[in-house]
Amino acid sequence: MKSEYDSKTRKGKLIYPEKVIERSLGKVPPSKDLIDKHLHERGSMFRISLMFTAIFSVIGILGTIFKMINGFDNLSDWSVYVTACVFIFTTFMGAPMLSMATKVARGNWSRPVSRLSEIFCISGIAGLLMFLPILWVLPSLEDGRNTLWFYDPGKVPAYSPHIWTTIAMIAFILTALALLWINARPDFAILRDNSKGKNKIYSFLSWGWVGSTKQWNSLRQRISILGIFYFMLLITVHFCLASDFLMTLLPGWVDSLYPATQAHNAIQGGVAVLIIAVFIAWKWGGYKQYIGLDQFWGLGKLLFGISLLWVWFFISSLMVLWYGKKPNERDVLQILMFGKYLPVFLGTIFFIFIIPFTLLILNNVRKSFYGPPVIAISVLIGNFLDRFRHYSSAYSLDRTIDENTHRFVNLPEIFVPSIVDIMVILGAISLPIFLILIISKYVPIISLWENREYIIYGSHEKYHRTEVLVEGKPY
């Protein structure tokens, strides 16, 4: 069709494109199969995992109570605890970013797994519970602790950084929970209409959703605004965590890149833990029909790119500290990398970069069902080792400094975790999973309304001599 638009005079009518594909919403109802899968009783595997995670969570709580009884004076004792707490915040709470980011970028491939990523929002509660004892671990301001907030006795009021960090965390968790609820609301409505017996819970949770145009429009607006807000809060929380927990005013330790590095590691850990969750849902959850190779491929590509970016953050930090040859910065490198923590450092590099890079670069591994999950486990191990290296070395520092050279007098020994610490780590990993398992009884882990959109907006069409996927871009 020729357009009647004249570019010289800039006048004329624009004519719409011609290849039209007709779809009808009525022909794509919310999948009965999905609703049944969600509503029926969970199998034995679910109950066993629920039991095990509950037991390990209790073990973890016991471990925490042991530590609290031992007192808060010895900072280095608490280093693994802090590592585990930050690990939860970085990995489990980084998973919802995938759903937010792909919604903003209007990608279609993530729709089947977006609910899985949003469900991780609940693990923030576990993180907050773990965080509370730490407030007593950090040295108090009355001891003259230098903080980010320019505490100066007699001159600047002592606004506690604890307050800022706690506020950021609570806001973060509330935003995450709000996002989870907003995204799940249409699903609750579908379940309310299609279930018998559990009506009361779902009608309460759906809060009057009828699916009118106005409600849908406001849903999309809220998702995009809250999603952006979630991202900003993620960066803020990691800034507070990194600067308050890790940056000390000891010479050479202040690393202005570390908050950004930690936020990036959060996203990396989030993608990794999401891949594992998607794999579990695919293999044992019975959702093989809904999660396909496309999702694993997309997540695998993401994990690959993000692992490469990790190297950039690492080298940026390293380059400045290494090149300047300032004595106190060389000491920090000794502590973190080349000294006593060398095995941990090598482990970090191996698990978080070498394995993902060398394996995910192969097309067959990236575009497979088993490849990304195995590498995701490696990334998570590497992430934990990285946290351990930073936090436990910071917490084990002896704070005496030589006056002339401004260097540390003693470099810390490597911290060996005790049995209580292992209990804490087990609990830290299990408690969020336990919460997620409980919540998955009410929130369907494949999003019903997004699955429907995924089917509607994607259409396989004959294109010349081949068949292609045509993807709609609605907004």
Partner 1 sequence: MQEHAQLTDKEITDDLLSPVIRSPKWFWMTIGSLGLIMLFGLSGYVWELYSGLGVTNVRRPVYWGAYITNFVFWIGISHAGIMVSAILRLTQAEWRRPITRAAEVLTLFSLIAALSNILFHVGRPWRIYWITPFPPVVIGYDFARGIWPNIRSPFVWDPVAVGTYLLSTILFIYTCLLPDIALVRDKVKSKIPKIIYSVLALGFRGTPRQWKIQATAPILLSALVLPIFVSVHSIVSWDFAVSIAVEGWHSTIFAPYFIIGAIHSGVSGVACLMAGLLWLYKLDKYIKPDHFDAIGRLLVIVATLWLFTLFLEWIFALYPLEDPEIALRNMQVFQSPWNYLFILFLFTAYIIPVSAWLFKNIRRSAKWMFFTTILVNVGMWLERFLIIVPGLSRRTELSFNWGSYSPSLVEMGLVAFTFAFVICGILVFARIFPIIPPFDVKEGMRFRHVIKIGKRNISAVVRE
Partner 2 sequence: MKQSKWGMVVDLDKCTGCQGCVVACQSENNIPSNEKSDYDEDRVIQWIRVERYWEGTFPDAKARFIPIMCQHCDEAPCEPVCPVFATYHNSEGLNVQVYNRCIGTRFCANNCPYQVRFFNFWEAEWPESLKNQLNPDVTVRSRGIMEKCTFCIQRIRRTKRDSNVNGFEIEDGNRAINTACVNACATEALVFGDMNDPDSKVSRIKEKESKKSGRGYHLMEHYGTSPNVLYLKKIEKHKSHSN
Could you tell which of partner 1, partner 2, none binds residue 18, using a CB distance below 5 to 8 A set by kind?
partner 1
| Residues 384-403 within binding reach of partner 2 (CB under 8 A) | 403
Which has the closest alpha carbon to 243: 312, 309, 168? 168
Q: Is 274 in the site for partner 2 (CB under 8 A)?
A: no
222 makes contact with partner 2 (CB under 8 A)? no
**328 makes contact with partner 2 (CB under 8 A):** yes
The dihedrals phi and psi of 119, each to the nearest 5 degrees, come to: -65, -20
Contacting partner 2 (CB under 8 A), which of 254, 311, 354, 411? 254
8 A C-beta contact, residue 335 and residue 255: no
CA distances (Å), 427 to each of 65, 278, 461, 463, in order? 12, 22, 50, 53
Q: DSSP string of 105-147?
A: TT-STTHHHHHHHHHGGGHHHHHHHHHTTHHHHSPPGGGT---
Return the range that interacts with partner 1 (CB under 8 A); candidates 64-72, 145-153, 269-277, 337-345.
145-153
Inter-residue contact 94 to 268 (CB < 8 Å): yes
Residue 17 interacts with, from partner 1, partner 2, none (CB under 5-8 Å by kind)? partner 1
Query: Which listed residue (234, 250, 335, 435) binds partner 2 by CB under 8 A?
Result: 250
Contacts of 145 by beta carbon, 8 Å cutoff, 6+ apart: 138, 139, 151
Which of partner 2, partner 1, none binds 9 (CB below 5-8 Å, type-dependent)? none
CB-based contact 306:244 (threshold 8 Å): no
CB of 335 to partner 2, least distance (A): 16
Among residues 145, 301, 326, 340, the one that binds partner 2 under rule CB under 8 A: 326
| Cβ-contact 384, 422 below 8 angstroms | no
The stretch near partner 1 (CB under 8 A) out of 193-201, 395-403, 433-441, 456-464 is 456-464
Interacting partner of 405 out of partner 1, partner 2, none (Cβ under 5 to 8 A depending on kind): partner 2
The site string for partner 1 over 86-125 (x = CB under 8 A, - otherwise) reads -------------------x--------------------
Q: Which residues of 370-380 are buried (b: 16+ CB within 10 A; e: fewer)?
A: ebbbebbbbbb
Query: How near is the Cβ of 231 to partner 1 at its closest, in Å?
Result: 9
Please report whether residue 18 would count as binding partner 1 according to CB under 8 A.
yes
Q: In this structure, are residues 127 and 237 in contact, taking their beta carbons and an 8 Å threshold?
A: no
Indicate whether 251 belongs to the interface with partner 2 (CB under 8 A): yes
Establish if 323 lies at the interface with partner 2 (CB under 8 A).
yes
Distance between CA 245 and CA 155 in Å, rounded?
Answer: 24
Phi/psi region, residue 3 (left: phi>0; alpha: psi -120 to 50; beta: rest), is: beta
**Residue 207 buriedness (CB in 10 A; 0-12 / 13-18 / 19+):** exposed
Please list the residues that pair with 461 across neighbouring strands.
468
Residue that has been written with the tokens 């907003």 in this structure:
182
Pull the structure tokens for residue 356: 């993902």
Whichever of 219 and 254 has its CB closer to partner 2, that residue is: 254
Q: Choosing among partner 1, partner 2, none, which partner's interface includes residue 256 (Cβ < 5 to 8 Å by kind)?
A: partner 1
Interaction with partner 2 in 397-436: which residues (CB under 8 A)? 403-406
Is 304 in a helix, a strand, or coil?
helix
Contacted by 403, from partner 2, partner 1, none: CB < 5 to 8 Å by type: partner 2
Interacting residue ranges for partner 1, rule: CB under 8 A: 1-3, 5, 7-8, 10, 14-25, 105, 146, 148, 150, 232, 235, 239, 243, 247, 249, 254-260, 308-309, 312-313, 315-317, 319-321, 323-326, 456-457, 459, 461, 463, 468-474
Q: Which residues make up the interface to partner 2 (CB under 8 A)?
A: 249-252, 254, 323-328, 330, 403-406
